């Protein structure tokens, strides 16, 4: 069974070319050719296609506005929300400042309680570790509970190559997997599919609907579709020997892992199989048990807009007589230390994957998750993916934003996404060897803006733009290059007859 469509690597490697880039401190970014952090097309091209898909836009618009309203209601219920948010931000900053020490402590605690800790430099190493662990149990199938980290590293494809079938068990992931599709939203990955499409996928792919005499009566009501998924997965849960999970949090001082979910598929995976393998990015730590009191309040309300999600499971190593008796924790770098090296950009590692920033983003609402090319879509994806891969491999993502700031306001750990976007844009522009028209324009603009006389000249020159507009409120989209690079995706207002400085000078007699 395939999982997500193969994505062509946008930058095929010349023989002997480096497998990954490095930052200025020499820290490697996530390797090319494995996993899902890079799209096969730049954001503007993918977005233009998505914008033509009316069904997708309708589904997305409905989804994001519904979740926004729910979130606003339950956040409004909490009188100390802002205090929790600031505590969450500070806790993450504190965690990052001592990340090495906390990881060593986590390892000590997990090991002391019967678990085994593995370290993976990158996607390939993590995939190899997990494949080896699964093979050691002698099984050729595993159940999986939603984990962004394992999507990021392309684990399902790696397992498949080793002859191991991975069953996604989250309803949305199952829809995506059976439909041979890619997730489009962190929280509701199948939001781009409606009930009729889901019914069709289930009837076509679930064994219970195949063969002579199978009862193919499946109305497209969500309840009936969910029950079909329950039947389909129940048997797989009961026979599974190995489960693979992600983790929402890990507590360094106690070695406790936490998974937050709704359906109970997480509990099935964390409880029934003999062996549990958890793959976790090294940034998911919190220092102390007490710190969870902040994040367990922030996450559900920001994410699904619930006071608390139906199920939160925590476990520490192995508990005799209860749950898996073998536990492996794989700690994944895959470019995270490169992000950590950037003093501005490292804040992106504070993300608790609630998806609130997606739901408030006007760009995401219209283009959907697929346009971002990476498993991390939306505003957080626009700052995280280019840092994990090196900005040269996801160069269009820092521009996939209008910088309106809604993401910052919604973020439960107050990540200043707009500032990181601007920072990455600057980095991208600087990094370009040959000067592009846009880079030249930004450079010229910044020079002009810092010299008043030049600025006035520039503004007067812009008056020429009025000729091109021929009285319409915006300039024609088809301007000659290099200006077309800008107007293709933006409405450029026709420059005013008179600039602000000119008007001021006229009305105030030259005083400025």
308 contacts other proteins (rule: CB under 8 A): yes
CA distance 149 to 146: 9
For residue 136, what are its two tokens?
């050691």
Candidate ranges 258-266, 311-319, 351-359, 419-427; the one touching ligand SF4 (CB under 6 A): 351-359
344 binds, among other proteins, ligand SF4, none (CB under 5 to 8 A by kind): none
Among 352, 361, 395, 421, binds ligand SF4 (CB under 6 A): 352
CA dihedral for 275, 279, 285, 291, sign (positive or negative): negative
Q: Which of residues 192-211 bind other proteins (CB under 8 A)?
A: 194-195, 198
Residue 103 belongs to what H/E stretch? helix 99-112
Q: Which of residues 281-320 bind ligand SF4 (CB under 6 A)?
A: 302
- Which residues, 121 to 160, sit near other proteins by CB under 8 A? 121, 125
Q: Judged by CB under 8 A, which of 60, 91, 285, 380 binds other proteins?
A: 91
Smallest gap from Cβ 424 to other proteins, in A, equals 17
The residue to which tokens 């106690």 are assigned: 254
339 cis-preceded (ω within 30 degrees of 0): no
Is residue 155 at the binding interface for ligand SF4, with CB under 6 A as the rule? no
Point out which residues pair with 319 in neighbouring strands: 322
Using the minimum distance from each CB to other proteins, give the nearer residue, 351 or 475.
351
> Is 103 or 357 the residue whose CB approaches other proteins more closely?
103
**H-run or E-run covering 107:** helix 99-112
Chosen from ligand SF4, other proteins, none, partner binding at 304 (C-beta under 5 to 8 Å by type): other proteins
Instruction: Map the footprint of ligand SF4 across residues 376-395, applying CB under 6 A.
Output: 380
Residue 353 binding ligand SF4, by CB under 6 A: yes
Interface residue with other proteins among 292, 354, 395, 424 (CB under 8 A) is 292
Question: Cβ closer to ligand SF4: 154 or 379?
Answer: 379
State the Cα–Cα distance between residues 250 and 262, nearest whole angstrom.
Answer: 19
User: Could you say which of ligand SF4, other proteins, none residue 460 binds, taking C-beta under 5 to 8 angstroms by partner kind?
Assistant: none
CA 19 to chain centre: 23
Q: Answer yes or no whether residue 363 interacts with ligand SF4 by CB under 6 A.
A: no
By CB neighbour count within 10 A (0-12 exposed, 13-18 middle, 19+ buried), where does 175 fall? buried
DSSP 3-state assignment of 278?
strand
Distance separating alpha carbons of residues 282 and 270, to the nearest angstrom: 20
Among 198, 331, 411, 421, binds ligand SF4 (CB under 6 A): 411
- Of residues 168 and 416, the one with the C-beta less far from ligand SF4: 416
Q: Which of 34, 56, 75, 120 binds other proteins (CB under 8 A)?
A: 120
Rounded CA gap, 76 and 72, in Å? 6
CB atoms within 10 A of CB 63: 20
Distance CA 190, CA 192 (A): 5
Q: Interface with ligand SF4 by CB under 6 A: which residues?
A: 302, 351-357, 380, 410-413, 415
């Amino acid at each position: 069974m395939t999982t997500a469509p193969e994505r062509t690597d946008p930058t095929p490697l010349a023989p002997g070319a480096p497998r990954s880039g490095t930052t200025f401190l020499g820290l490697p970014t996530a390797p090319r050719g494995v996993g899902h952090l890079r799209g096969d097309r730049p954001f503007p091209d993918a977005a233009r296609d998505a914008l033509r898909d009316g069904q997708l836009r309708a589904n997305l618009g409905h989804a994001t506005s519904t979740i926004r309203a729910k979130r606003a209601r339950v956040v409004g219920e909490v009188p100390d929300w802002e205090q929790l948010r600031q505590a969450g931000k500070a806790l993450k900053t504190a965690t990052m400042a001592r990340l090495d020490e906390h990881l060593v402590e986590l390892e000590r605690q997990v090991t002391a309680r019967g678990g085994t800790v593995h370290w993976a430099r990158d996607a390939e190493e993590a995939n190899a570790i997990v494949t080896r662990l699964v093979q050691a149990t002698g099984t050729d199938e595993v159940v999986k509970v939603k984990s962004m980290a394992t999507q990021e590293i392309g684990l399902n494809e790696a397992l498949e190559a080793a002859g191991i079938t991975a069953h996604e068990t989250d309803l949305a992931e199952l829809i995506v997997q059976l439909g041979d599709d890619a997730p489009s939203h962190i929280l509701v990955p199948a939001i781009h599919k409606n009930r009729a499409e889901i019914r069709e996928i289930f009837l076509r792919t679930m064994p219970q609907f195949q063969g002579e005499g199978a009862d193919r009566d499946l109305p497209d009501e969500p309840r009936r579709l969910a029950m079909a998924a329950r039947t389909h997965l129940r048997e797989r849960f009961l026979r599974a020997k190995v489960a693979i999970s992600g983790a929402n949090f890990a507590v360094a001082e106690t070695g406790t892992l936490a998974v937050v979910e709704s359906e109970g598929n997480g509990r099935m995976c964390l409880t029934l199989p003999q062996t549990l393998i958890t793959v976790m990015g090294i940034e998911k730590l919190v220092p102390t048990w007490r710190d969870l009191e902040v994040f367990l309040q922030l996450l559900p309300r920001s994410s699904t807009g619930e006071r608390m999600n139906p199920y939160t499971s925590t476990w520490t190593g192995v508990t005799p007589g209860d749950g898996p008796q073998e536990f492996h924790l794989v700690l994944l770098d895959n470019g995270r230390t490169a992000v950590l090296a950037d003093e501005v950009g490292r804040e992106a590692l504070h993300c608790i994957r609630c998806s609130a920033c997606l739901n408030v983003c006007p760009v995401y609402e219209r283009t959907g998750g697929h346009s971002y090319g990476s498993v991390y879509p939306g505003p957080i994806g626009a700052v995280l993916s280019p840092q994990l891969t090196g900005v040269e491999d996801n160069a269009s993502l820092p521009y996939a934003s209008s910088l309106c700031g809604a993401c910052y306001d919604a973020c439960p750990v107050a990540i200043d996404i707009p500032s990181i976007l601007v920072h990455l844009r600057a980095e991208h522009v600087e990094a370009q060897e040959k000067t592009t028209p846009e880079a030249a324009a930004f450079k010229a603009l910044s020079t002009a803006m810092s010299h008043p006389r030049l600025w006035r000249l520039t503004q007067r020159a812009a008056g020429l733009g009025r000729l091109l507009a021929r009285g319409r409120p915006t300039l024609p989209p088809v301007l000659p290059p290099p200006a077309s690079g800008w107007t293709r995706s933006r409405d450029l207002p026709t420059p005013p007859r008179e600039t602000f400085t000119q008007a001021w000078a006229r009305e105030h007699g030259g005083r400025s």
